[in-house]
């Protein structure tokens, strides 16, 4: 049978309120009475209910996390960073998937806002137009992940997708490639759009013609990478290099290349974006953009905890963009398949 403070109060000969003050270390209690209560609680093997203590302090010690998906490695690493930081502060997570649907996000926020969490980390890169309206309904502090950089007045953490795409496109250009294609991410996705703009601007700055026929829409999945790469390579005017907008699609491109007897990088160079673990075991090793995914989750959680604990003003806008760098493998045509060059930095405003 679970022991509660009523039993401790009865055996101690004091009120329930006095026991509560001792257990929550709040309010004046004589030292002699306090020691007696703690001794009886220990004898009864009393374990305070975290839920009850949370209600007493008007805190749950739980953080809500809403992500578009929970299945691929990118999101698992986000959760890992969030969870490690939460655990170091003795907090718990309530994780949910919204599938990037507005109704889902609103329902989940409403559920979490009804006293179940102290704050929320929300990733919804495809919902830039609705973010202000959604967050205004939240009863708890909210930190955004990977939203549009124009989200002034909010708290957000993200990746410098534009610069990463720019750098890796310039790397392809440095090899002498002029016919460079791209398999894009979803058009409504903030990260995908930033990567596409970085790609286009790198071509323009280096005097290379942008050919719309070399750009194929994708959705960040292995399947879209497979089909997009196959379609691109099936065109009469073939590209010399392809920038896959994420590593999952690059994995699909490798599979497609095998099936249509194309050798990477001899027939076509391939690069990706994200530097997830599977990209490191591809042959040749995928040249890709490294992003600090775990650190992204960790930083967001750390700042949210400061908002909750009153260390920073939750109403004050705050934006951080973690920088990207290149991981050079053999898929781009470089001879050294083990060279790693990650550029660390942080943009904050």
Please check the confidence at residue 220 and state whether its pLDDT lies above 80: yes
Please check the confidence at residue 166 and state whether its pLDDT lies above 90: yes
Q: Note the pLDDT of residue 178.
A: 96
Least confident piece of the model among 217-226, 237-246, 314-323: 314-323
Walk me through the domains of the chain, giving residue ranges and CATH numbers: 5-57 (1.10.260.40), 62-159+293-322 (3.40.50.2300), 161-292+326-348 (3.40.50.2300)
Digit-coded pLDDT (tens) for 272-297: 999 998 988 999 999 999 999 999 99
Q: Note the pLDDT of residue 185.
A: 95
Q: Note the pLDDT of residue 336.
A: 61
Percent of the chain clearing pLDDT 70 (strictly above): 88
- Exposed, middle or buried, 137 (CB in 10 Å: 0-12/13-18/19+)? exposed
Please check the confidence at residue 348 and state whether its pLDDT lies above 50: no
Please check the confidence at residue 23 and state whether its pLDDT lies above 60: yes
Higher-confidence position of 13 and 241 = 241
Helix axes 16-23, 5-12, angle to 10 degrees: 110
All residues at 6 or more sequence positions from 154 whose CB lies less than 8 Å from its CB, including other chains: 131, 132, 135, 142, 144, 147, 317, 319
Q: Are 74 and 276 in contact (CB under 8 A)?
A: yes
C-alpha 31/C-alpha 236 separation (Å) is: 87
C-alpha 217/C-alpha 165 separation (Å) is: 16
C-alpha 262/C-alpha 38 separation (Å) is: 73
Please check the confidence at residue 189 and state whether its pLDDT lies above 50: yes
Per-residue confidence at 173, pLDDT binned at 50, 70, 90? very high
C-alpha 4/C-alpha 145 separation (Å) is: 41
Percent of the chain clearing pLDDT 90 (strictly above): 50
Digit-coded pLDDT (tens) for 7-16: 888 888 888 8
Least confident piece of the model among 32-41, 77-86, 229-238: 32-41
Per-residue confidence at 345, pLDDT binned at 50, 70, 90? very low
Q: Note the pLDDT of residue 11.
A: 85
If you average pLDDT over residues 60-89, what whole number do you get? 88
Distances (CA, A) of 117 to 55, 112, 307: 11, 6, 13
3-state SS class at 147 = coil
Q: Note the pLDDT of residue 54.
A: 54
Q: Are 166 and 202 in contact (CB under 8 A)?
A: yes
pTM attached to this predicted model: 0.76
Q: Note the pLDDT of residue 73.
A: 80
If you average pLDDT over residues 169-184, what whole number do you get? 97
Give residue 332's region: left, alpha or beta (phi > 0; psi -120 to 50). Answer: alpha
Higher-confidence position of 24 and 68 = 68
Q: Note the pLDDT of residue 57.
A: 55
Distances (CA, A) of 319 to 150, 157, 289: 10, 6, 21
Read off φ and ψ for residue 307, nearest 5 degrees. Answer: -65, -45
Q: Note the pLDDT of residue 240.
A: 97
Q: Note the pLDDT of residue 2.
A: 61
Please check the confidence at residue 32 and state whether its pLDDT lies above 50: yes
């Amino acid at each position: 049978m679970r022991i509660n403070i009523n039993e401790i109060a009865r055996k101690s000969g004091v009120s329930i309120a006095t026991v509560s003050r001792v257990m929550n270390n709040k309010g004046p209690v004589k030292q002699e009475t306090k020691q007696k209560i703690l001794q009886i609680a220990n004898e009864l093997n009393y374990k305070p209910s975290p839920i009850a203590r949370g209600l007493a302090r008007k805190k749950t010690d739980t953080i809500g996390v809403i992500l578009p998906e929970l299945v691929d490695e990118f999101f698992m690493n986000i959760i890992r960073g969030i969870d490690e930081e939460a655990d170091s502060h003795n907090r718990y997570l309530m994780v949910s998937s919204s599938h990037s649907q507005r109704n889902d996000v609103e329902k989940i926020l409403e559920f979490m806002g009804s006293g179940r969490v102290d704050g929320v980390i929300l990733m919804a890169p495809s919902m830039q137009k609705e973010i202000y309206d959604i967050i205004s309904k939240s009863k708890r502090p909210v930190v955004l992940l990977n939203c549009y950089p124009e989200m002034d007045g909010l708290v957000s953490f993200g990746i410098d997708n534009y610069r990463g795409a720019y750098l890796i496109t310039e790397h392809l250009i440095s090899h002498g490639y002029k016919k460079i294609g791209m398999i894009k991410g979803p058009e409504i996705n903030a990260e995908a759009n930033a990567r596409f703009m970085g790609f286009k601007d790198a071509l323009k700055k280096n005097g290379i013609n942008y050919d719309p026929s070399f750009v194929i829409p994708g959705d960040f999945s292995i399947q879209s990478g497979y089909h997009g790469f196959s379609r691109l390579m099936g065109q009469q005017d073939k590209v010399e290099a392809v920038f896959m907008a994420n590593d999952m699609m690059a994995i699909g491109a490798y599979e497609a290349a095998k099936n249509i007897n194309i050798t990477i990088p001899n027939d076509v160079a391939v690069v990706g974006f994200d530097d997830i673990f599977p990209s490191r075991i591809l042959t040749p090793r995928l040249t890709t953009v490294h992003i600090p995914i775990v650190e992204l989750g960790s930083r967001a959680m750390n700042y949210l905890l400061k908002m909750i604990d009153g260390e920073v003003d939750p109403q004050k806008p705050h934006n951080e963009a973690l920088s990207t760098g290149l991981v050079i493998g053999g898929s781009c045509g470089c001879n050294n398949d083990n060279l790693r060059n990650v550029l660390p930095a942080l943009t904050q405003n």
